[in-house]
A and B are shown apart, each in its own frame.
Chain A
């Protein structure tokens, strides 16, 4: 117990004196929470549209106007020639071209049908497909209005018109920050838990002081606890700071179920600290540890459902995501912060993470022994 106390006192002093680590612990969360949620925004706005109107009729004008007044589009080109419009797509001044053919209006009136061509620059797939979908909606709307005008006294509407309205739950204003902030918090917690601890342990070997520790009566578990406990505490502090920032800057008000989040974070940190320990066992320099950590961080984040929903991943990726601890943290963050989940709601996640924690830490402790006695 005295040995553990001595180790902890030493670790805290070293961490507090290490400016780089302090920056990571306090400034990184602040900067990431201030910048990322605003920048990493999925909502597609400002889609540049070019329109080729061969018809110049009232109906074609209606489409042009709808596009112009929509929040999502910027009408940047208006022309008579399709080939000219294609050069806009090539030089990227336009994302999407709508071509309204000759006799659009008269075809619509006489033959009850008319075509509109939408050409999309699909280099940015998301922007292209979302843009095309919006345009589809707008044209549908115009179509409905026209039909509304024609059937002035509809006793039975000849065509069923289904109008979709939606109400948004848990994130009423569909605010993208509200979706991103919990994710960024999850990332931060993982960085501190998994990577700072492993860097710290590897450093001890790099500097050479580990030799001195190894010949001393310090036991393996005492050394490991001495390394992990400080980062466990710092992880929880970061979470608190992060929640404060997201309250002040993003207006995300933690409910009185917030303790649930800390309970989960406490368990989660144990699991990722085990992962960090595992990394440190197989690396000799801080550089190696950093590169390996970076590799895993990318995989963790991309497969966590932070940016893209896990449900739309291919089967094999879903399996990886189910193993990935970050997936559960991101989910719990959103459940607790946005849906006011209670402890009972996240219990299954706690069980999963506890299991992962046991597996990771067991692996880490076993391999730590092997590494230590190899020479």
Chain B
């Protein structure tokens, strides 16, 4: 495989009965880039992510993630990715530190490494005073930032994010994207789905899914040129309105 690619898919397909949720998608994600994955509700984004994370076995096609085959090495993939879903992923009834400790431990960090990585994380987020606060008492924006930091605490090769900024205020969204840039700067590949078109502009490259197929894939700048419009919003609208489902 190409050592420069974090993700490679070739005709990746998932069917549920006669319904084709993901229809032969092929793309590469380059190591260290921020790859946006857009699509209306029901376009197949989540199913695609689940296949790439080793949660769902593809019906057809090939895919490698971090160099591992999704059919054969799901466990290896899980060790090398981070994941943050639209659903809140921290434990409300554990403290900030206990969440850090738990997730770091299940990725195999030992006591010393947990202390080191945890301290760094707390300093970066400015959460040192909240170390013993229950996560349920944190504001949503902080929770999301904490969830993201925890998702990459084991320094994965790729982090998958499924609509990470849903329901978060604009200011926090901006801070959130700064964190994404930081992660990308240290070489973590970011694979993110979103509904917000302004966020699509922040991505290096964007794939737009319509009815299970990738209808467009390029940098935001090139896409706007190609569709003769000045916003990603418009590009998305031109593609998404062709959708028959949803």
Chain A residues whose C-beta falls within 8 Å of the C-beta of B53 in the assembled complex: 215
List B residues 66-114 near A (Cβ within 8 Å). Answer: 75, 78-79, 81, 83, 85, 87-94, 98, 101-103, 105-108, 110
Chain A residues whose C-beta falls within 8 Å of the C-beta of B55 in the assembled complex: 214-215, 373
Q: A2-B105, A217-B107, A218-B106 are in contact. Are A207 and B56 (CB under 8 A)?
A: no
Q: How large is the interface on B (under 10, 10 to 19, 20 to 34, 35 or more residues)?
A: 20 to 34
- A208 lies within 8 A of chain B by Cβ: yes
Chain A residues whose C-beta falls within 8 Å of the C-beta of B57 in the assembled complex: 373
Chain B residues whose C-beta falls within 8 Å of the C-beta of A249 in the assembled complex: none
Q: How large is the interface on A (under 10, 10 to 19, 20 to 34, 35 or more residues)?
A: 20 to 34
Question: How long is the Cα–Cα vector from A10 to B169 in the complex, in angstroms?
Answer: 31
Q: Flag if A18 contacts B56 (CB, 8 Å).
A: no
List A residues 1-35 near B (Cβ within 8 Å). Answer: 2-3, 5-7, 9-10, 13-14, 17-18
Q: A215-B83, A375-B50 are in contact. Are A7 and B88 (CB under 8 A)?
A: no
CB distance from A211 to the nearest CB of B (A): 5
Which chain B residue has the least Cβ–Cβ distance from A7?
A: B106
- A212 lies within 8 A of chain B by Cβ: yes
Contact with B along A225-264 (1 / 0, CB 8 A): 0000000000000000000000000000000000000000
Q: Flag if A208 contacts B85 (CB, 8 Å).
A: yes
Give which listed residue, B78, B89, B98, contacts A209 with CB less than 8 A: B89
- A216 lies within 8 A of chain B by Cβ: yes
Chain B residues whose C-beta falls within 8 Å of the C-beta of A215 in the assembled complex: 53-55, 78, 81, 83, 160
Q: Flag if A207 contacts B88 (CB, 8 Å).
A: yes
CB distance from B47 to the nearest CB of A (A): 8
Give which listed residue, A214, A216, A373, contacts B107 with CB less than 8 A: A216
Question: How long is the Cα–Cα vector from A216 to B159 in the complex, in angstroms?
Answer: 12
Q: Flag if B89 contacts A211 (CB, 8 Å).
A: yes
Chain A residues whose C-beta falls within 8 Å of the C-beta of B90 in the assembled complex: 209
Q: A216-B106, A217-B75, A217-B107 are in contact. Are A207 and B92 (CB under 8 A)?
A: yes
Question: How long is the Cα–Cα vector from A29 to B79 in the complex, in angstroms?
Answer: 43
Question: How long is the Cα–Cα vector from A112 to B102 in the complex, in angstroms?
Answer: 89
Give which listed residue, A2, A10, A208, A219, contacts B88 with CB less than 8 A: A208
Chain A residues whose C-beta falls within 8 Å of the C-beta of B93 in the assembled complex: 13-14, 17-18
Chain A residues whose C-beta falls within 8 Å of the C-beta of B94 in the assembled complex: 10, 13-14
CB distance from B215 to the nearest CB of A (A): 24
Which chain A residue has the least Cβ–Cβ distance from B102?
A: A10
Most chain B CB within a 10 A radius of its CB, from A6, A215, A373: A215
Give which listed residue, B47, B98, B103, B105, contacts A13 with CB less than 8 A: B98
| A-B interface pairs (CB < 8 A), number | 71
Chain B residues whose C-beta falls within 8 Å of the C-beta of A3 in the assembled complex: 105-106, 108
Question: How long is the Cα–Cα vector from A9 to B56 in the complex, in angstroms?
Answer: 29
Chain A residues whose C-beta falls within 8 Å of the C-beta of B75 in the assembled complex: 217, 219
Chain A residues whose C-beta falls within 8 Å of the C-beta of B92 in the assembled complex: 207
Q: Flag if A208 contacts B89 (CB, 8 Å).
A: yes
Chain B residues whose C-beta falls within 8 Å of the C-beta of A18 in the assembled complex: 93
CB distance from B94 to the nearest CB of A (A): 6
CB distance from A149 to the nearest CB of B (A): 79
Chain A residues whose C-beta falls within 8 Å of the C-beta of B81 in the assembled complex: 215
Chain B residues whose C-beta falls within 8 Å of the C-beta of A7 in the assembled complex: 106
Give which listed residue, B79, B87, B102, contacts A6 with CB less than 8 A: B102
Question: How long is the Cα–Cα vector from A216 to B107 in the complex, in angstroms?
Answer: 7
Q: Flag if B102 contacts A212 (CB, 8 Å).
A: no
Question: How long is the Cα–Cα vector from A207 to B81 in the complex, in angstroms?
Answer: 22
Contact with B along A112-150 (1 / 0, CB 8 A): 000000000000000000000000000000000000000
Chain A residues whose C-beta falls within 8 Å of the C-beta of B101 in the assembled complex: 6
Chain A residues whose C-beta falls within 8 Å of the C-beta of B110 in the assembled complex: 2
CB distance from B20 to the nearest CB of A (A): 15
CB distance from A100 to the nearest CB of B (A): 71
CB distance from B110 to the nearest CB of A (A): 8
Chain B residues whose C-beta falls within 8 Å of the C-beta of A2 in the assembled complex: 105, 108, 110
Question: How long is the Cα–Cα vector from A6 to B106 in the complex, in angstroms?
Answer: 7
Q: A10-B98, A10-B102, A373-B57 are in contact. Are A217 and B87 (CB under 8 A)?
A: no
Question: How long is the Cα–Cα vector from A219 to B105 in the complex, in angstroms?
Answer: 14
Most chain A CB within a 10 A radius of its CB, from B57, B75, B87: B87
A-B contact pairs, 27 of them (CB 8 A): A2-B110, A3-B106, A3-B108, A6-B102, A9-B102, A10-B91, A13-B93, A14-B93, A207-B88, A208-B85, A208-B87, A208-B88, A211-B83, A211-B89, A212-B83, A214-B55, A215-B54, A215-B78, A216-B103, A217-B78, A217-B79, A217-B107, A217-B108, A219-B75, A373-B56, A373-B57, A375-B56
Residues on A close to B: CB < 8 A?
A: 2-3, 5-7, 9-10, 13-14, 17-18, 207-209, 211-212, 214-219, 373, 375
Given contacts A3-B108, A219-B75, A375-B47, 5 further A-B pairs with CB under 8 A are A3-B105, A6-B106, A17-B93, A208-B88, A215-B160
- The 3 A-B residue pairs with the shortest CB-CB distance, nearest first, are A208-B87, A6-B105, A215-B83
